[in-house]
Structure 1
Amino acid sequence: MTKELDRGRLAGDWGGMGDKVRKDWGKLTEEDISQAGGRRDLLLERIRERYGLSEGDAERQLTDWASRQGDASNQAVDPK
């Protein structure tokens, strides 16, 4: 399921996931998270902007974060 996250959408309880995102990426604002609205591509873009990361570095961080979410992240994937 984590592979689907790479191209998928973070769905489900985005409010809860948003809180978890903020815990790991404290520079993200509530507006950043709200605008991402569960879309992985937008979240990745915000992480890159706020932290000055390359696309590859941000991708690795987000993939690692998703894998640490365990079952919650697997249920929060919309492969569309």
Structure 2
Amino acid sequence: MNSDRIEGNWKEMKGKVQQKWGKFTDDDLDVIDGRREELVGKIQQAYGKSRDEAEKEVDKYFN
């Protein structure tokens, strides 16, 4: 799923993203606001993953 589709469907996807990455608060999800790069950064920060690992995780989840 490309970045535009993530942003366009963000309201519907917020709950599923929060289930997958349970450390995210509602405020985190509001900051991410469907932007792929923000999501990758938050995963890195919350879970201590490298950028490459976080990007692969996001791509795998949304594809």
Residue identity (%): 32
What's the Cα RMSD here? 1.2
Point out where structure 1 has 5 or more consecutive residues left out of the alignment: 68-80
TM-score, normalised to structure 2, is 0.87
| Structure 1 equivalent of residue 62 of structure 2 | 66
**Matched residue count:** 62
1:52 aligns with 2:48: yes
Higher relative contact order (CA 8 A, sep 6+): 1
> CA offsets, 1:32-67, max 9 Å, x none?
111011111111101110000000110111011001
Paired with 1:66 and 1:24, the residues of 2 have a C-alpha distance of 11
Point out where structure 2 has 5 or more consecutive residues left out of the alignment: none
Greater share of helix: 2
Q: Which runs of 4+ in 1 moved over 6 A?
A: none
Q: Where do 1:1-80 residues align within 5 Å?
A: 2=1, 5=2, 8-9=3-4, 10-67=6-63
TM-score, normalised to structure 1, is 0.70
